[in-house]
Amino acid sequence: MKIAVTGAAGFIGSNLIGGLNARGIDDIIAVDDLTQGDKFKNLADLQIADYVDADDFYELFAEGAFGDVEAVFHEGACSDTMEPDGKYMMDNNYTLSCELFHACQDQGTRLLYASSAATYGGSDTFAESPEFEKPLNVYGYSKLLFDQRLRREIGKHFESTATQVAGFRYFNVYGPREQHKGRMASVAFHQFNQYQADGKVKLFGEYGGYGPGGQMRDFVFVDDVVAVNLWFLEHPEKSGIFNLGSGKAQPFNDVAISVINTLRQHQGEVPLSIEEAVRGGLIDYIAFPPALVGKYQSYTQADLSALRAAGCEHAFADVQTGVAAYMRSLSSQK
């Protein structure tokens, strides 16, 4: 089985390749742009058949240059939610995705692609339906427009495609292989480094009707993201747009105390409650940034009804379990 993975050296792309390798699949075309050269580290321990620069891949793929490709995992995109250049965002996340979709349809190649929970933006309901889609930035809009284009071309529930097309609306993904993402890395990653450097972690203070650290997100461990993607690879008859989150909203305070207590345990220290951590100065609440006002989701929680209706019963890790595993992974690299 030949597979192509775009964004292969990125966070989710490299974890997907790891998941494919674990299932004995290594005939993989890795597609990326290694201008940021240190991203190679995400591929160095993985098994692939070929590497193709992103500038070359899409046209070559449309020409059939790679032969019979069973499926493309399309993770390549500009994922910086604060990127102000709308033209760049639309070229990368919309136009290129449309071209890839048509090439996949022409060749009978399955397309499993990254959408985003940013499509919901200011909504308070997170179900895969147009009335709940209210993006707050051009990143969310670029992802939504591609979803809308597919709905027009292959039906509201992708029912008119003979070749699998599945889009996954990722919520707040965290886990190994995100070190290259800079400020766009997960809060857990940043807090690991903050605690190692200063013995404390930072969180936003009061905002959006939530107390300090009380804003709630659906945090999903990257291993769970990989498991769901690969479930769909194993079920080619399933198409549609699906939320990919844990289905459980948890406050940022839960992430912080999980980071702190896992690292304290690693140092032989006793765990603390959130109140004890705050009193001890281990959590530093900072003023909410003006640049994010009106552009920030204070609450997200994936509605998993569509995923469950498709037959995927994967059990997701909660923050306490997933963050603890992530902190142990990061600690082992030090």
Active site residues: 139, 181
DSSP reduced 3-state for 98: helix
Alpha-carbon torsion (93, 94, 95, 97), positive or negative: positive
- Nearest Cα neighbor of 322 from 175, 168, 201, 148 is 175
Q: In what side-by-side order are the strands of the sheet with 172-174?
A: 172-174, 216-221, 249-251
Tokens 């399933």, residue located = 238
Can you read off the two tokens belonging to residue 226? 């990989």
Q: How far is the C-alpha of 316 from the C-alpha of 312, rounded, in Å? A: 11
DSSP reduced 3-state for 139: helix
Q: How far is the C-alpha of 14 from the C-alpha of 99, rounded, in Å? A: 23
Q: What is the DSSP letter of 315?
A: P
CA distances to 21, 44, 194, 287 from 218, rounded to whole Å, are 28, 31, 22, 22
Tokens 């809060």, residue located = 187
- Nearest Cα neighbor of 188 from 204, 202, 206, 171 is 202
- Please enumerate in sequence order all residues whose Cβ is within 8 A of that of 114, keeping only pairs 6 or more positions apart, or say none: 7, 12, 74, 75, 77, 167, 168, 170
R_g (Cα) of the chain, nearest Å: 20
Can you read off the two tokens belonging to residue 32? 């990326």
- Nearest Cα neighbor of 244 from 189, 298, 306 is 306
The answer to whether 121 touches 90, Cβ cutoff 8 Å, is: no
